[in-house]
Structure 1
Amino acid sequence: MSNSNSQRVRTIFRAKTSKALDKIEDPRETLDDSYDQQVKLLQQVRRAVAEVATAKKRIELQGEEMGARYQRLGAQAGEALAQGREDLARAALERRAMLEGQVANLQQQYASLDRQTAQLQDRERRLTDQVAAFRIEKETIKATYTASEAQVKANEAVSGLSSSIEDIGSSLDRARDRVAQMQARAAATDELLASGALTDLTAAPDADIERQLAVISAQAEIERQLQALQQGGPAAAAPNAADGGWLGIGQGGAR
């Protein structure tokens, strides 16, 4: 294989490979996949915000219940002391003291969840803005790519048409030559049929004899008119109005 052929094969191979890669790595599909991943991440963040908010609400309800119990124990301690039951008052205050530790721990959890909720909500807002901005840019890039792809296809079509014009011209020239040859052949066969060299299968069985007799009669008529002219007579009677004018031309010899 020559160097030029090898170079041509390598060029064709690279072109086909590039086209295959372009088809596989369509940037529009890549952008859509990236957008879908960002939307999934945003959905995960929103679920996390909802879960943290739910946990925070449970702690809040639990804290409200413990606060109500704390108030109730204080009231019970005062009532027991008023009735001279110092032991009951002491027990109520001891439980109230234990409850204070539980409430303090619950308050720490609530404060931690409150900070976490604020962070997640801020992250959700920023991620929502990023996803919205990415979507606009994605659609813009996709539209630009689609328009560029259409332009490339149109240019390739025009280029292919331009490169094939020469072949089209050659095809038209060959078609014209074939038409001219066929016309010449038709004219030649007409002349052969008229001369009798070819047999006209569509003609009457005795058409050739009639044609030959017609030729002989025409020659005899010419000889007669020639003799009449040599003898000083008219070659044929001139047609008059009574004979039909020009309609009588060629009919004088039939009388």
Structure 2
Amino acid sequence: MSITRRISGLFKVKAEKALDRAEDPRETLDYSYQQQLALLQNVRRGLADVATSRKRVELQHSQLEQSAEKLQDQAQQALGLGRDDLAREALTRRTAVLAQDQDMQAQATALREEEQKLTLAEQQLQAKVEDFRTRKETVKASYTAAEAETRIGEAVTGISGEMSDVGAAVQRAQDRTEQLQARAGALDELMASGALEDATSPVAHDELKSELDQISARGDVDAELAAMKAELAGGAAPPRLESGAAREEQPERGDGAVKPKDEGAG
């Protein structure tokens, strides 16, 4: 076998396999059924044509018989009148008509036989078409059921391409979810250890406010300390700081001075 023939055979096998994968048996069965119906219609059309021709020949046969009878009567009338020549002419024409009538009878017989054959063929073909239609519907139903079962099995086992794509998408979603969960857990651990601070939490705001308050308080103390130092440098007595109890309102003297409390009254 030559290389060209082997390559041609290989391509043919691959093409047939591709057609088998692409072909739907249900469509093929429907197409075959339509072809058989078309053939049956052709047989019926041929049968109708043969029947029409037979009817036409039978009509012509009937007309020839009537013509032969009429010529027979004319020949007799001519003999009654003593016109042998006319009687002879009528009988000659009658003979020709009878010959044509025999041909018509032969054609009618042949057409009748052909019509009977076509009728029998039409009946047999119709029975075959009906049988094929029944088997076709049975095969189609079985194929549809098998196809549905296969798809269900593939969907359950995840073999089909569609379910494989769905499974891959689900796996990607799970992987992404696990990554986000791991990241969230790591952030929680960092925040719990103090490595990261949550700027949005109230605790962070309170700590920041406390730190700012401490800075402000230190500023006030430093300013007050500087003022006291300045007063001391100027020779003025520093003001004596009193506690909250010592700052209680003292009774006034008559001259407007504050009268100190008795030492034992406290």
TM-score normalized by structure 2? 0.63
The answer on 1:200 being equivalent to 2:199 is yes
In 2, the alpha carbon distance for the partners of 1:80 and 1:212 equals 160
Q: Which residue of 2 aligns with 1:188?
A: 190
- Residue of 119, 122, 125 corresponding to 1:121: 119
Q: Which residue of 2 aligns with 1:96?
A: 94
Change (3 A) 1:152 1:22: farther
- CA shift for structure 1 position 110: 0.4
In 2, the alpha carbon distance for the partners of 1:133 and 1:34 equals 13
Q: Which residue of 1 aligns with 2:259?
A: none
In 2, the alpha carbon distance for the partners of 1:68 and 1:113 equals 22
In 1, the alpha carbon distance for the partners of 2:214 and 2:188 equals 24
Q: Which residue of 1 aligns with 2:258?
A: none
One-letter amino acid of the structure 2 residue matched with residue 200 of structure 1: A
The answer on 1:47 being equivalent to 2:45 is yes
- CA shift for structure 1 position 206: 5.2
- CA shift for structure 1 position 189: 2.2
In 2, the alpha carbon distance for the partners of 1:94 and 1:29 equals 67
In 2, the alpha carbon distance for the partners of 1:166 and 1:86 equals 112
The residue correspondences of 1:1-255 to structure 2 (distance < 5 A) are 20-160=18-158, 172=174, 175-176=177-178, 178-189=180-191, 192=194, 198=197, 200=199, 203=205, 207-209=209-211
Change (3 A) 1:50 1:167: closer
What is the aligned residue count?
195
**Residue ranges of structure 1 left out of the alignment (5+ in a row):** 1-15, 214-255
Change (3 A) 1:151 1:100: same
Deviation digits for residues 54-96 of structure 1 (CA, Å, limit 9, x no counterpart) = 1111111111111111110011011111111111111101111
One-letter amino acid of the structure 1 residue matched with residue 121 of structure 2: R
Question: What's the secondary structure of 1:84's corresponding residue?
Answer: coil
Q: Provide the aligned C-alpha RMSD in A.
A: 3.5
One-letter amino acid of the structure 2 residue matched with residue 83 of structure 1: L
**Residue ranges of structure 2 left out of the alignment (5+ in a row):** 1-13, 216-266
- CA shift for structure 1 position 36: 1.4
**As a proportion of its length, which structure holds more helix?**
1
Deviation digits for residues 35-54 of structure 1 (CA, Å, limit 9, x no counterpart) = 11111110110010010011
Question: What's the secondary structure of 1:200's corresponding residue?
Answer: coil
Would you say the 8 A contact 2:191–2:198 is kept in 1?
no
- CA shift for structure 1 position 98: 1.2
Of 179-188 and 91-100, more deviation after overlay is shown by 179-188
% identical equivalent positions:
39
Q: Which residue of 2 aligns with 1:226?
A: none
Deviation digits for residues 119-151 of structure 1 (CA, Å, limit 9, x no counterpart) = 000100110111011001001101101110111
- CA shift for structure 1 position 178: 3.9
TM-score normalized by structure 1? 0.65
In 2, the alpha carbon distance for the partners of 1:172 and 1:30 equals 45
